[in-house]
Amino acid sequence: MGIHRGHQARPVEWLAEKFIFLVSLSAILMVLLIFLFVAREALPVFVGQTNTALVQKPIPTVELDKHSPAELQAYLELTPEQFKQMSRETLKALMDVKVEAQDDIPEQFRNDPDARINTTEWPYLLKAHRWTDYAKPEYIWQPVGEVKKFNIIPLVVGTLKTTLIGLLFAVPLAVGAAIYVSQLARPRVREILKPTIELLSGIPSVVVGFFALLVMATVLQTIFHYQTRLNAFVAGIALGFAVIPVIFSIAEDALTSVPRAYTQGALALGASRWQTAWQIVLPAALPGVFAAAVLGFGRAIGETMIVLMVCSASVMSWSIFDSTRSITTTIAAEMAEAVNGGPHYRILFMLGALLFAATFISNMIGDFVIHRFKQKLEGKR
Partner 1 sequence: MNTVTPGQYLPESSSDTTRITRHFRAEKFDFWSFFFSGLTGLATLFIVGILAVILLNIVINGWSGFSWHFVSTIPKKDFFDVHTTGVLPMIVGTSIRVIVMTIFVIPVGVITAIYLTEYAANTSIITRIIRAAVNNLAGVPSIVFGLFGLGFFINFVGKNMDKLLHNTSAVWGQPALIWASLTLAVMTLPVVIVATEESLKAIPPGLREASLALGATKLETILKIVLPQALPGILTGGILAVSRAAGEVAPILFTGVAYYMASLPGHLSDQFMDLGYHVFVLSTQSPNIEQTRPILYATVLTLLLLTFALNIVAILIRARMRKKLRALG
Q: Which of residues 207-266 bind partner 1 (CB under 8 A)?
A: 207-211, 213-215, 241, 244, 248, 260, 263-264
* Contact status, residue 292 vs residue 251, Cβ threshold 8 Å: yes
Is 275 an interacting residue with respect to partner 1 (CB under 8 A)? yes
Candidates 328, 343, 344, 369: give the one binding partner 1 (CB under 8 A): 328
Name which of residues 108 to 147 contact partner 1 (CB under 8 A).
none
**Closest approach of Cβ 361 to partner 1, in Å?**
10
Name which of residues 351 to 380 contact partner 1 (CB under 8 A).
352, 355-356, 359-360, 362-364, 366-367
Nearer to partner 1, 115 or 213 (CB): 213
Contact pattern from residue 165 through residue 204 relative to partner 1, giving x for each residue in contact according to CB under 8 A and a dash for the rest: -------xxx-xx-xxx--xxxx-----x-xxxxxx-xxx
Nearer to partner 1, 76 or 331 (CB): 331
Number of residues that bind partner 1 (CB under 8 A): 94
**Closest approach of Cβ 379 to partner 1, in Å?**
15
Of 24-32, 51-59, 124-132, 142-150, the segment contacting partner 1 by CB under 8 A is 24-32
Candidates 3, 4, 8, 27: give the one binding partner 1 (CB under 8 A): 27
Nearer to partner 1, 90 or 264 (CB): 264
Is 290 an interacting residue with respect to partner 1 (CB under 8 A)? no
Nearer to partner 1, 67 or 371 (CB): 371
Nearer to partner 1, 38 or 117 (CB): 38
Is 295 an interacting residue with respect to partner 1 (CB under 8 A)? yes
Nearer to partner 1, 54 or 301 (CB): 301
What's the rounded Cα separation, in Å, for the pair 152 and 148? 12
Nearer to partner 1, 114 or 143 (CB): 143
Contact pattern from residue 29 through residue 48 relative to partner 1, giving x for each residue in contact according to CB under 8 A and a dash for the rest: -xx-xx--xx-xx-------
What's the rounded Cα separation, in Å, for the pair 177 and 198? 12
Is 319 an interacting residue with respect to partner 1 (CB under 8 A)? no
Nearer to partner 1, 24 or 87 (CB): 24
Candidates 140, 167, 289, 301: give the one binding partner 1 (CB under 8 A): 301
Is 349 an interacting residue with respect to partner 1 (CB under 8 A)? yes
Nearer to partner 1, 91 or 309 (CB): 309
Using CA of residue 162, residue 168, residue 172, residue 173, what is the dihedral sign?
negative
Print the SS3 string covering the chain.
CCCCCHHHCCHHHHHHHHHHHHHHCHHHHHHHHHHHHHHHHHHHHHCCCCCCCCCCCCCCHHHHHHCCHHHHHHHCCCCHHHHHHCCHHHHHHHHHHHHHHHHCCCHHHHCCHHHHCCCCCHHHHHCCECCCCCCCCECCEECCCCCCEECCHHHHHHHHHHHHHHHHHHHHHHHHHHHHHHHHCCHHHHHHHHHHHHHHHHCCHHHHHHHHHHHHHHHHHHHHCCCCCCCHHHHHHHHHHHHHHHHHHHHHHHHHCCCHHHHHHHHHCCCCHHHHHHHHHHHHHHHHHHHHHHHHHHHHHCCCHHHHHHCCCCCCCCCCCCCCCCHHHHHHHHCCCCCCCCHHHHHHHHHHHHHHHHHHHHHHHHHHHHHHHHHHHHHHC
Give whole-number Cα distances, 144 to 45, 128, 313, in Å.
18, 18, 13
**Closest approach of Cβ 327 to partner 1, in Å?**
9
